[in-house]
Amino acid sequence: MSNNLILKVKNLKVQINNEKIIENLSFEVKKGEVLTILGPNGAGKTVLLKTLLGIYPFEGEIVWKEGVRIGYVPQRLPFIKNIPITVEEFFKLKNLSKKEIENILNEIGFKENLKKEVGNLSSGQFQRILIGWALAKNPEVLLFDEPMTGIDIKGEETIYTLLKRLKEKRGLTLLLVTHDLSVVYKFSDFVICLNKYPVCQGAPKDVLSPETLRNLYGEEIKFYQHYHK
Amino acid sequence: MEQLILSLITGIFIAGTAGYLGTLMLSKRMALVAGPLGHLTLPGIALALIYGFDVSLGAFPFVILGIILIWLIEIKTKLPLEALTAIVFALGVAVSFLFLPIAKAETALIGDITKVSLNEVIISALLCLLVFFVVKKIYPKMVLINISEDLAKAEKINVKKYNFLYLMAIAIIVALGVKMVGGLLTAALVAIPACASRNLSKNLLEYICLAPLFGIFSAVFGILLFKLTGFPAGPLIILGSGLIFLISIIFKK
């Protein structure tokens, strides 16, 4: 694997309970790139992330750069409400000192009390906490599942501004799962349209045409490309 | 007097450890699992009572069997855990009543901690200490696993290994618990202190510390009340923790 590559995936096939979830997927990710995985619900996006993390078995090849540190931001953590755990205690699960915790919270713009229960945070603050938690051991790559879930438009923008800032500051490589097209245009270097099979792959401007999106989401979708200066 | 002290020591060790482990079980939504496991021990308790050996010793292999059964059936059928517990628990009770001598039924069902011997006290205390240190060791990782197995796996935590240690801890505590409160009431020993603690705590530290304290208080309360009233200690211990739970509702933040 060349120095510049962080991840190489070749002929990936994932089956869960005898159901084919992903087939015939190959791609590469270079250091510092933002890769977006786009697709409708049930297309296998989350499964792809989890397979890359080693959670599901697979056929084919997944090669990470040797010794790579990976941070994972899950879509949601519904069960955390069952546990009376404060923000500080949640970070301590990763063996961080108070100073390290404060530094990270500062970096992600978390303004609330450290002693607040994680289950009582607003969804925007909660997502910041998850990002901060994923960043805690200085990962080179961040895998991020559906960043905007449950957050209003204003909050959504802020999460992306935050990601952009973190990426520039830390030189992060990002793998994002989303179905938000504007994010893809504004932010990604490379996009994979996934609907079990890869429907398209490439730079967003090159591959996202009304036609590929129709293939991806079905006939109903109406799509207009906006250009950002 | 000496017997009372032995009972109190055993009660404090078992109830305290059960309360501590209970906090993990509640956050894993498994608080009720100790119920069917307790019921499953009844045939083992029956054997112990008939042949005159320690009830915890009789109970232990049956808890292990129960854990394996529930685990296997869950993997195979994907039925929810609570449905499986219903099946397993009914079977345990049914089998035990086929050969449990009715005269001994009370001890099997609601326990009897008031006649423990010095040897039993020592063994119970040592096992409780073992469970306590294992649970303390795995606690942070288990919390993460309870929050999200995927997140834990992404952190390269060996989820299977931790779950195994956790289940073994449950098996030992259930086996010890049946001695104290019988096969019918073991779930209460782990569940009620943890629930009361959950009501009152604002963070993990309080949650972890309050539950064993509540367990210990109920054990002392139940055993002393037995001394005063002559009612069986097992149910009195559970009523003690029930009382704490009621109070915790009033003061719930």
Q: What pLDDT, in 10s, does the model give residues B120-167?
A: 999 999 999 999 999 999 999 999 999 999 999 999 999 989 988 998
The residue whose two tokens read 């001394």 is B227
**What is the per-residue DSSP string for A167-206?**
HHHHT-EEEEEE--HHHHHHH-SEEEEEESEEEEEE-HHH
* CB nearest A115 (choices: B140, B151, B203): B203
Per-residue pLDDT at B215: 97
Q: What are the beta bridge partners of residue A178?
A: A38
Confidence of residue A206 (pLDDT cuts 50, 70, 90): confident
A135 by DSSP, 3-state: which?
A: helix
Element containing residue A6 per DSSP (H, E):
strand A5-16
Q: What are the beta bridge partners of residue A22?
A: A14
Per-residue pLDDT at B81: 72
Per-residue pLDDT at A148: 65
Amino acid at position A198, single letter: P
Q: What are the beta bridge partners of residue A190?
A: A35
The 10 Å Cβ neighbour count of residue B89 is 23
Taking residues B60-75, what's their average pLDDT? Answer: 84
Per-residue pLDDT at A154: 54
Q: Which of B76, B155, B199, B202 to mutate to test the interface with A (most CBs of A within 10 A)?
A: B155
pLDDT reading at A147 higher than 60: yes
A165-187: pLDDT as tens digits: 888 899 999 999 987 777 787 78
Per-residue pLDDT at A125: 86
A65 DSSP 8-state letter = P
Per-residue pLDDT at A112: 83
Q: Is A177 on the interface with B (CB under 8 A)?
A: no
Please give the Cα distance from A207 to A219 (Å, whole number).
18
pLDDT reading at B105 higher than 80: yes
A20-60: pLDDT as tens digits: 888 889 999 999 999 999 888 888 889 999 999 999 999 99
Contact A77 B153 (CB under 8 A): no
Taking residues A198-206, what's their average pLDDT? Answer: 83
Contact B202 A83 (CB under 8 A): no
Taking residues B228-248, what's their average pLDDT? Answer: 95
Q: Please calculate the CA angle B162-B167-B173 and round it to the nearest 5 degrees.
A: 130
pLDDT reading at A225 higher than 60: no
pLDDT reading at A152 higher than 70: no
- Using an 8 Å Cβ cutoff, are A150 and A74 in contact? no
Per-residue pLDDT at A219: 59
Q: Is B250 on the interface with A (CB under 8 A)?
A: no
Alpha-carbon dihedral angle through residues A196, A197, A202, A206, given to the nearest 10 degrees: -100
Contact A84 B146 (CB under 8 A): no
pLDDT reading at A150 higher than 50: no
Q: What are the beta bridge partners of residue A8?
A: A28, A63
Please give the Cα distance from B143 to A83 (Å, whole number).
8
Please give the Cα distance from B93 to B86 (Å, whole number).
11
